Amino acid sequence: MTPNQTLNGRYKIIRSLGEGGMANVYLAHDLILDRDVAVKLVRFDMQDDLSAIKRFQREVLSTTELVHPNIVGVYDIGEEHGMNYLVMEYVEGTDLKQYIRDKFPIPLDQVVNLMGQILNGVQTAHRHGIIHRDLKPQNVLIDTHGNAKITDFGIAIANQQSSFTRTNAVIGSVQYLSPEQVRGHIATQQSDIYSLGIILFEMLTGKVPFEGESAVSIAVKHYQDQLPLVKDFNDKIPQSLENVVLKATAKNPTDRYKNVAEMADDLKTVLEPDRANEPKFIEDSLTDRTIVLDQTEINQNLQPEEIEKTRPIEVKMNNRYNNPRPPKETSKNSEEEMHRPKHRHPLRRRALFTFMAAVAFILGIFIAFKLSSPQMVQVPSLEGLNQKEATTKLSKANLGVGKITKEADDKAGYNKVVETLPETGKYVQEGIKVNVVISKGPNSFDVDNYVGSDYTSTKKQLEDKGFKIKKKEIATDRFDDDRIISQDVISGQVVVPRVTTITFTVAK
């Protein structure tokens, strides 16, 4: 289609809005209702492709029944000269992908608001039995008022039509593809929830979790690799918000939210103060749970003779002693033997001596073993120490240093001990090696404005985060001595501390 062409005598084409693999989208003007609309037209080279036409018709059927402020509305459908078209609401603005590029970092309350709108739209589709199957930021439009609207239900499929798609056909954008779709399984509501979790991840971090040289390598990562933690990108993100991402993107669909409504309810309260320190979400399928059974409940399902078997053994022993066997009759000869004076037989004395010697020998071996066995010592606290200090403290406790690993940590100072294995306070044998985790500082840090601050204290604070600090002195009367006049890294810039050097100009 070219500008000024009129479709069906009603929709005047203004310009192209974009091209897709199956259809092209144009901005048009509805000459009857005097409003701008978006017209999606099946590409000319796809007009004879039966599968493309069916897919386009499925989008029409899917979206015409979806009426929601967070879903792009469908106004009209038709065909002209063999060309199938769909007339939709025109959303003036941009898609979420570009919005993230332009606005990142997005304030957390705004992220929660936008994500809540997207969840509301998807929830409506799921209520109608429609699974989107291709949720990604490119398919979420943001208008000039900050409203989110979901579009492109081209590969959505109603539950009753699930047999239409082959189970070994993987459709959708690989960056947001669920693990079960990677394996060729039919998409479910939990598949959409996984994609929503990836979108939320991107809104919080500005990037997708997995990248690779090919679509296949990225898809495999969705199936095999654990998602990076959003708090590693920004330590200001509360654990409650990270938990929403973790639960939505659990590898096992049964560990995810049961439905979009549950995810939306959880998201509503993530910024409330009482949820700031909640524990990190861990998938149930990754943990072993011990089930404690109640003895009363067990007995209710047992027969009387089976219950008897479960009673403590002491009860049966008491019954045995409560009902002793009757004593045997004592003969007259036995009574006489009892009154005879007892003299120990030489063999018995020898046996007793041998027994006592054996006991003494065993006791001696036990004492020798006890004295020669390693002593138990307590793992000391190494928190806040550097590697050299930690080594010295472990040596004083008769312990060695094992594997040293470095991890990003937002709380511990740069090159300081974060944790040990075995953990602090645990009793272990002398001489074992303790593995130590050293902080690399945070993965990302929002640089503040330090102009006017004391250089010495600021330098220590930033070096604890992993920054390298350089000083340039200038003689001036406008600032007190040792006060920062300027900095070469601008305020608000997000950087990785351990690879960043900040140069301060300081008054002298």
Q: What is the mean pLDDT of residues 488-507?
A: 86
Question: Whole domain around residue 451: which residue ranges?
Answer: 445-507
Per-residue pLDDT of 113-125, as tens digits, reads 999 999 999 999 8
Residue 419 has pLDDT above 90, yes or no: no
Give the tokens for residue 196: 């929503």
Nearest-5° angle of CA 463, CA 466, CA 467?
65
> What's at 123, amino acid-wise?
Q
Of 95, 134, 152, 192, the active-site residue reads 134
Q: Structurally, how many domains does the chain consist of?
A: 4
Question: Which of 436, 386, 446 lies closest to 413 in space, CA to CA?
Answer: 386
Whether residue 419 is found in the same domain as residue 388:
yes
Answer whether 59's CB lies under 8 Å from 154's CB. Answer: yes
Whether residue 118 is found in the same domain as residue 204:
yes
DSSP string across 196-221: HHHHHHHHHHSS-S---SSHHHHHHH
Which of 252, 284, 316 is the last residue before a domain boundary?
A: 284
What is the distance between the alpha carbons of residues 483 and 492, in angstroms, rounded to a whole number?
Answer: 20
- Does residue 176 lie in a domain region? yes
Residue 203 has pLDDT above 90, yes or no: yes
Answer whether 466's CB lies under 8 Å from 497's CB. Answer: yes
Strands 501-507 and 468-474: parallel
Which of 54, 89, 124 is the last residue before a domain boundary?
A: 89
What is the distance between the alpha carbons of residues 309 and 307, in angstroms, rounded to a whole number?
Answer: 5
Whether residue 275 is found in the same domain as residue 151:
yes
Residue with tokens 């390598």: 217
Range with top average pLDDT, 68-72, 210-214, 320-324, 402-406: 68-72
User: Where are the extended beta strands (E) located within 72-170?
Assistant: 74-80, 83-89, 93-95, 130-131, 140-143, 148-150, 157-158
What is the distance between the alpha carbons of residues 499 and 493, in angstroms, rounded to a whole number?
Answer: 14
Give the tokens for residue 343: 């003299």
**How does residue 94 score in pLDDT terms, banded at 50, 70 and 90?**
very high
Please indicate whether residue 30 is annotated as part of the active site: no
Answer whether 270's CB lies under 8 Å from 238's CB. Answer: yes
Strands 35-42 and 83-89: antiparallel
Pick the residue with more confidence: 54 or 101?
Answer: 101
What is the distance between the alpha carbons of residues 483 and 485, in angstroms, rounded to a whole number?
Answer: 6
Question: Which of 272, 125, 281 lies closest to 196 in space, CA to CA?
Answer: 125
| Residues constituting the chain | 508
Residue 265 has pLDDT above 50, yes or no: yes
Average pLDDT, the chain: 79
Whether residue 107 is found in the same domain as residue 19:
no
Answer whether 390's CB lies under 8 Å from 436's CB. Answer: yes
- Does residue 462 lie in a domain region? yes
What is the distance between the alpha carbons of residues 137 and 149, in angstroms, rounded to a whole number?
Answer: 11
Residue 169 has pLDDT above 70, yes or no: no
Q: For residue 1, what pLDDT is reported?
A: 67
State the DSSP H helix or E strand holding residue 223, giving kind and residue range, or none if neither. helix 215-224
Which of 45, 62, 89 is the last residue before a domain boundary?
A: 89
Q: For residue 244, what pLDDT is reported?
A: 97
Residue 310 has pLDDT above 50, yes or no: no
8-state DSSP, 176: G
H-state helical runs in 373-474: 387-396, 455-465
What is the distance between the alpha carbons of residues 180 and 133, in angstroms, rounded to a whole number?
Answer: 12
* Secondary structure (3-state) at 286: helix
Residues 6+ apart with CB under 8 A from 366: none
Which domain CATH number covers 414?
A: 3.30.10.20
Whether residue 82 is found in the same domain as residue 22:
yes
- Does residue 326 lie in a domain region? no
Whether residue 428 is found in the same domain as residue 387:
yes
- Is 40 annotated as contributing to ligand binding? yes
Three-state secondary structure of 344-358: CCHHHHHHHHHHHHH
> CA dihedral in degrees (389, 392, 397, 398; nearest 10)?
150
